[in-house]
């Protein structure tokens, strides 16, 4: 958390807040978070204009002319636009200042987020983005592709969580997608039939599209950049609903562990 819908919501909020601003400086207060030296960031981005913020999977790409600043929010990363006079708080670990005396502050309680730099012409050809599978709305993500990737000894949920298969799906949406498709998360992926892959693909696209439209799901500590709660959490059918009745058959939702993650399912509806 956050996953594709939440990161997309942050991207849209950030573009409204900072697109078109001119870079002045960047301070990294927790050095392990940055994969390139602060001095290199300063030198490379100095006086460049932030032209756009895009997204690939769960990674944000800040476009500074011919450079790309890659930001991964991991578990709890979030941004706040403040003035340069803002007094840094305990969990603000880097700050990007602009020439108009505003600054974008990165807040991350767990310190899991990362900061990286790539040239625009190589950003998709080098790690980490080169490892990612297609986006959910990519035409290359069709039933034949999904069937090939499901020829695995792993569980269906483990394959869905694999970012090299489909980019952007995490624990929350994997649970919801599998419930929508009527597939047990513990089912071996290689046992899925073509019709089940078709249903899985349709549910993936429908659920992520709805989640993006609703600003993602505000669970645990997530809020978007503008401090607005996502509304998709009101549509969750199984995730975080252990012991509550299934919205289809009224059987109690159970929590199990699959692929190392807490997993929610309806034993009766998912096979």
Give the residue numbers annotated as catalytic, written as ranges.
2-3, 58, 261
- Give the tokens for residue 257: 């562990």
Q: State the residue for tokens 């819908």.
A: 5
Place of tokens 């600003």: 215
Helices (H), 107-188: 143-149, 156-161, 171-181
Q: Is the peptide bond before 2 cis (omega within 30 degrees of 0)?
A: yes
Question: Measuring CA to CA, which residue among 19, 16, 20, 8 is closest to residue 55?
Answer: 8
Pair of tokens at residue 74: 């991991």
CA distances from 9 to 60, 77, 167 (A): 11, 13, 16
């Amino acid at each position: 958390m956050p996953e594709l819908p939440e990161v997309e919501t942050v991207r849209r909020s950030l573009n409204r807040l900072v697109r078109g601003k001119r870079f002045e400086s960047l301070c990294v207060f927790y050095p392990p978070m940055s994969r390139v030296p602060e001095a290199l960031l300063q030198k490379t981005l100095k006086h460049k204009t932030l032209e756009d913020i895009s997204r690939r999977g769960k990674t944000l790409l800040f476009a500074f002319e011919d450079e790309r600043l890659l930001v991964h929010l991991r578990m709890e990363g979030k941004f706040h636009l403040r003035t340069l006079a803002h007094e840094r708080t305990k969990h603000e670990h880097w700050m990007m200042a602009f020439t108009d005396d505003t600054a974008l502050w990165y807040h991350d309680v767990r310190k899991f987020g990362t900061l990286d730099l790539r040239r625009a012409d190589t950003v998709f050809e080098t790690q980490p983005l080169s490892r990612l599978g297609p986006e959910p709305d990519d035409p290359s993500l069709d039933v034949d592709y999904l069937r090939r990737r499901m020829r695995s000894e792993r569980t269906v949920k483990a394959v869905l969580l694999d970012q090299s298969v489909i980019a952007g799906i995490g624990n929350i949406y994997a649970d919801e997608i599998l419930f929508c498709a009527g597939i047990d998360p513990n089912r071996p992926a290689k046992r899925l039939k073509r019709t089940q892959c078709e249903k899985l693909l349709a549910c993936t696209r429908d659920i992520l599209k709805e989640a993006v439209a609703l600003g993602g799901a505000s669970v645990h500590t997530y809020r978007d950049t503008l401090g607005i709660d996502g509304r998709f959490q009101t549509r969750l059918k199984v995730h975080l609903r252990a012991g509550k009745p299934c919205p289809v058959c009224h059987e109690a939702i159970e929590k199990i562990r699959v692929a190392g993650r807490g997993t929610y399912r309806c034993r009766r509806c998912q096979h």
